């Protein structure tokens, strides 16, 4: 099939005229409208011809925005699948319109008679796949409407607040009829298709045949692409909505302000960032996830009022009151140490820095602060997040969070500073430091000396020697290693520690040589926290179970007893999960538990059980 705009545009123009004359399933008052009546298209506009012309221009612009040149990298696949979807949409809307028109004309007695005669077999519902295809094109057109508003110079997507001088379409200002047409489009685009709509069996089977037989669909399914369509499948079929709601609601089924006053932010197609989203219950949250199909979900604080009403409240009324105590550890903060990868790249060798970090921080939170409701999560690419959900932790103010972050932070100084760990004799005896050093010593040789080879070349060993407080010893070791640079880091480390011990025996503790081994091990291995994420109540953090846009991997929970065995490269990708769903035999129950998501959902389920309130047994005890 050739890539051209005319067939697509013509079909979408047909779709527009049908859509606007088709009753919305969720709007009973419109169901008696005639499917073919031109007058019903735009009752607010006096001139019906002008309304038709306006709709043509609006739709042409939406098509440009939705299916424009920005998709040319994979244009053939994109246009072919979208062309099919447009055909399917137009056909299905026509069928619905015809059926509704027939129902409106039929008498109640004849309708009952027909139903009785044919039973349930006389009609057929839409499949989830068909609904997904319709909602995908609806979402594309909705996003295109956002761009159209911007081109009109509208504020807050409000058609009454448009800058008519700068906003032009087709060389002319938006007219009254164009705005009326756009208002009607908005009503259609904001209503998702649902599986409950039933059609005459013959017509529904015709759609099935179109789905199965159309040769335009015999192309790559695009499953490797992270798009609103693939994300929509994920949020509808695999996202653990029930567990997720129980976690953030902290009270089972009944909605509390922990959920209704919680801020969520969504990043949707083309990088559009939606902040201050909030939902009244689990059903609304699930519905919006499916509708918007965000590429990223961030979780924020719980406020004094639902965040969606923030703009309507007086200054000072809308304030954050609580949030989980969170920690973010990113691999890029180890770039000055790790030698295997840089930037956003990771491998099995450098991932062990995250293993050490989780051990150190987790034990401190449990043993020093007494927190028990802790969840670790893989960020989907190059780091880990920690969510402390104890009520004491959630109610900490900024000062309290800063104190916890300061307690856990040990490394101070920029990239140019040689020695970044400075402990007094007293602070070095603190239980947290002693315990952390025990963990670090267990991993130091394997991670730093064997995997990272931090003393293999001169530019690497210079970073270690810069932390030595004795300049003469630095020069001696540099000269010695330069003569035999090919020796392993393990051998060079042994030589360095021997030399430091001998030097310290002569000079005592004057130059701090006797603590060099301890300090450099902590400096190279101790966790590096992003303190800004922890110290502010209203700081957003990426949600578990969203999809990382760069890797396509799911942000999965990590069990506390799996720090050492967790493999970030074994975490399923969106494409992998969708293929597993397609290949798995149909079954009742959770679809996710039949995929490679199952073990991670099991970890999440175990964690959620710890945050829910313990049920109180109302029956009197019979024990004596």
Point out the residues that are catalytic. 263, 328, 330
Residue in this structure with the two tokens 């307690």, named with its chain if needed: 407
Contact at 8 Å (CB) between 67 and 79? yes
Query: How many residues belong to the chain?
Result: 624
Q: What residue ranges in 383-450 does DSSP mark as E strands?
A: 383-388
Cβ-based burial of 163 (10 A; exposed 0-12, middle 13-18, buried ≥19):
exposed
Rounded distance, CA 388 to CA 365, Å? 9
Rounded distance, CA 256 to CA 247, Å? 12
HSE-up (13 A, CA, CB side) for residue 178: 23
What Å distances lie between residue 40 and 22, 126, 184, 294, CA to CA? 10, 26, 11, 35
Q: What is residue 469's three-state secondary structure?
A: coil
Contact at 8 Å (CB) between 540 and 265? yes
**Residues 476-498, buried b or exposed e (16+ Cβ, 10 A)?**
ebeeebeeeeeeebeebbeebee
Contact at 8 Å (CB) between 555 and 379? yes
What Å distances lie between residue 395 and 119, 302, 391, 599, CA to CA? 58, 10, 6, 31
Bridge partners, residue 558, by sequence: 376
Q: What is residue 276's three-state secondary structure?
A: strand
Rounded distance, CA 242 to CA 563, Å? 26
Q: Which two tokens stand for residue 33?
A: 């409208």
DSSP letter, residue 281: S
DSSP letter, residue 509: T
Dihedral sign for Cα 485, 490, 495, 497, please.
positive
How far does Cα 198 stand from its chain's mean position? 34
Cβ neighbors of 296 (< 8 A, separation 6 or more) are 266, 267, 542, 546, 547, 549
Cβ neighbors of 585 (< 8 A, separation 6 or more) are none
């Amino acid at each position: 099939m050739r890539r051209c705009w005319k067939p697509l545009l013509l079909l979408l123009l047909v779709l527009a005229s049908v859509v606007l004359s088709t009753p919305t399933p969720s709007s009973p008052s419109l169901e008696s409208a005639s499917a073919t009546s031109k007058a019903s298209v735009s009752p607010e506009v006096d001139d019906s011809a002008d309304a038709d012309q306006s709709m043509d221009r609006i739709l042409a612009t939406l098509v440009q925005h939705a299916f424009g040149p920005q998709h040319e990298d994979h244009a053939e696949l994109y246009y072919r699948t979208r062309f099919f979807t447009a055909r399917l949409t137009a056909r299905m809307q026509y069928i619905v319109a015809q059926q509704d028109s027939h129902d409106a004309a039929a008498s109640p007695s004849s309708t009952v008679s027909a139903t009785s005669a044919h039973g349930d077999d006389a009609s057929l519902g839409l499949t989830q796949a068909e609904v997904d295809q319709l909602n995908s094109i609806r979402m594309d057109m909705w996003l295109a409407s956002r761009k159209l508003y911007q081109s009109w110079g509208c504020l807050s997507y409000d058609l009454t607040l448009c800058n008519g001088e700068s906003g032009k379409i087709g060389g002319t200002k938006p007219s009254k009829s164009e705005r009326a047409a756009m208002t009607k489009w908005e009503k259609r685009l904001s209503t998702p298709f649902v599986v409950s709509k039933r059609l005459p069996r013959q017509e529904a089977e015709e759609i099935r045949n179109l789905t199965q037989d159309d040769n335009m669909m015999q192309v790559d399914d695009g499953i490797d692409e992270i798009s609103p369509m693939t994300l929509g499948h994920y949020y509808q079929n695999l996202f653990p909505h029930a567990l997720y709601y129980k976690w953030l609601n902290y009270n089972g089924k009944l909605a509390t302000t922990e959920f209704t006053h919680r801020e969520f932010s969504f990043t949707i197609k083309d990088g559009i960032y939606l902040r201050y989203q909030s939902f009244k219950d689990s059903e609304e949250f699930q519905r919006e996830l499916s509708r918007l199909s965000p590429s990223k979900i961030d979780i924020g604080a719980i406020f004094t009022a639902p965040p969606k009403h923030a703009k309507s409240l007086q200054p000072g009324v809308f304030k954050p009151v609580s949030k989980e105590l969170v920690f973010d550890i990113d691999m890029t903060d180890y770039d000055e140490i790790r030698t295997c990868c840089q930037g956003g790249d990771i491998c099995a060798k450098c991932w062990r820095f995250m293993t050490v970090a989780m051990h150190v921080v987790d034990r401190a939170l449990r043993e020093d602060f007494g927190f028990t409701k802790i969840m670790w999560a893989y960020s989907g690419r190059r780091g880990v997040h920690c969510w402390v959900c104890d009520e004491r932790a959630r109610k900490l103010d900024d000062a309290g969070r800063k104190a916890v972050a300061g307690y856990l932070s040990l490394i101070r100084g920029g990239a140019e500073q040689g020695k970044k760990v400075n402990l007094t004799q007293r602070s070095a005896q603190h239980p947290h430091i002693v315990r952390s050093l025990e963990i670090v010593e267990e991993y130091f040789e394997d991670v730093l000396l064997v995997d990272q080879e931090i003393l293999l070349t001169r530019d690497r060993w210079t970073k270690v020697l810069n932390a030595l407080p004795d300049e003469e010893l630095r020069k001696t070791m540099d000269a010695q290693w330069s003569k035999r640079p090919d020796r392993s880091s393990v051998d060079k480390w042994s030589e360095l520690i021997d030399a430091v011990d001998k030097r310290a025996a002569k000079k005592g503790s004057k130059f701090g040589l006797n603590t060099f081994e301890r300090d450099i091990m902590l400096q190279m291995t101790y966790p590096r926290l992003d303190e800004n994420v922890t110290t502010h109540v209203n700081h957003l953090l990426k949600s578990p179970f969203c999809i990382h846009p760069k890797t396509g991997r799911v942000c999965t929970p990590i069990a506390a007893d799996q720090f050492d065995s967790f493999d970030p490269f074994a975490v399923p990708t969106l494409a992998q999960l969708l293929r597993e769903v397609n290949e798995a035999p149909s079954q009742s129950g959770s679809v996710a538990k039949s995929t490679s998501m199952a073990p991670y959902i099991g970890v999440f389920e175990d964690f959620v059980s710890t945050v829910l309130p313990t049920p109180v047994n109302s029956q009197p005890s019979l024990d004596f």
